[in-house]
Amino acid sequence: MTDAIAVANVTKEYVLGGALVNREYMTLRDAISGLFQKKAKSRRFKALDDVSFSVPEGATIGIVGRNGAGKSTLLKALSRITEPTSGTITIRGRVSSLLEVGTGFHPELTGRENIYLNGSLLGMRRAEIIQRFDEIVAFSEVEQFLDTPVKRYSSGMYVRLAFAVAAHLEPEILIVDEVLAVGDVAFQKKCLGKMEDIGHSGRTVLFVSHNMAAITRLCPRVVLLRQGKLVGDGPALDVVKQYLSDGSSGQGLVTDLLNEARRSDYYGGVARVSSLELRPSAPAPEFKVGEDLRLRIRFRSIAPIHHAGVGVGIDDMYGSRLMTFNSDESGVTLTTERGGDYMFDLCVPRPCLNPGRYSLSCAVLSGGQVLDYIANATAFDVLPLDDASGAHIEPTEGAGPIRLPCSWTV
């Protein structure tokens, strides 16, 4: 089978606060600045480090990793937005990419004009674009704003139109980043259904997401990046388990999140989650069945906030949300000062979780607005031991993550 994508020993190196390290594409400014940076080797870092893999034609591949692992850099290299410092990337077929909001559209042009522009960039004839135009508009649900410059679109409208264009202009290769998270839930479901259709049609799909339910649904194969290196490549469930183990093994009970990369530039500007602490009875990131789930969330206020609260989400190992706890829904908020550090404790009495591994996401909130959010901040295990009796609980295949108290009569 022919490979649609072949990535061979690709490295992408940057200089912190400086220029891109790529001599083939070096400008005069890069060369002058390089004279002052020769001794600053410690300021260089590799966003990608000797990454190699291939994607056969017609395959759907998931790419996962924690924030800052190099996922977006890899997709930009595959989309020819940035060039690798070393190594080669071979692409066979037309590529359509949906990366961060703003990529691929000209802000001064209308939605209608951008549809034609994107089709032209993919090498399509005007007649081909016209043939698919109505389908694109119907899918995007932005018909009444079609002749408005896209710079006036909300982020949700922008993503709806961008995805509709990327998916319906029939590229041989579709590359989609986490940007789908900007849309509403109903539209996300519609996008996932369209991506399934694209995969079944024999086209190649690369999909980056923090939603493990979507990854395992769409992608038979997943690759895992960690600090720029490819550390996992195999069946989706196996690599998802490896990914969820990343960041909790050997990390202790307190996860430092202050400098963790956010998946959006919007998050962390007003407040930043600084740490998430697990507080089980044992000195390990694990709880017994029925043991109170105790957490401590710390955040730093970058600016004054009225009615600041925090939220915690618990997901199963596939990324499906099981439950969410928001302090403001319980009336527990506070007013912050600039530069202040604050702490919230959460106790969930006897949570109804079966034995297994779970991941935690956390947020800072104010009046329903999300000020900071970190998905898969850390993970914990629920052991097959009853907290009250100490008895062993035999895990049941396919029982699901939730166990509720019940009574039977016959």
Q: Where are the alpha helices (DSSP H) in 126-177?
A: 126-140, 155-168
Instruction: Name, in order, each residue with C-beta under 8 angstroms of 249's C-beta and a sequence gap of 6 or more.
Output: none
Q: What percent of the chain has pLDDT over 90?
A: 38
pLDDT tens digits for 197-254?
Answer: 888 888 899 998 877 767 877 889 999 999 899 999 999 888 887 887 665 443 458 9
Radius of gyration of the chain (CA): 23
| Total domains, the chain | 2
Asked if residue 351 is part of any domain, the answer here is: yes
State yes or no: pLDDT of 365 exceeds 90: yes
Asked if residue 406 is part of any domain, the answer here is: no
Looking at the fold, whether 67 and 137 belong to one and the same domain comes out as: yes
Looking at 227, 245, 263, the residue that finishes a domain is 245
Mean pLDDT of the chain: 84
Looking at 211, 245, 279, the residue that finishes a domain is 245
Q: Which of 3-17, 290-304, 358-372 has the lowest mean pLDDT?
A: 3-17
Looking at the fold, whether 193 and 304 belong to one and the same domain comes out as: no
Q: What is the dihedral of CA 281, 283, 286, 290, to 10 degrees?
A: -10
Asked if residue 403 is part of any domain, the answer here is: no
pLDDT-based confidence at 345, cuts 50/70/90?
A: very high
pLDDT of 100: 61
Looking at the fold, whether 241 and 314 belong to one and the same domain comes out as: no
pLDDT of 179: 60
Looking at the fold, whether 73 and 219 belong to one and the same domain comes out as: yes
Q: Residue 315: which domain range?
A: 254-386
3-state secondary structure labels for all residues of 373-391: EEEEEEEEEEEEEECCCCC
State yes or no: pLDDT of 300 exceeds 90: yes
> Rounded mean pLDDT of 270-289?
90
> Rounded mean pLDDT of 381-407?
82
pLDDT of 2: 84
Asked if residue 397 is part of any domain, the answer here is: no
Asked if residue 347 is part of any domain, the answer here is: yes
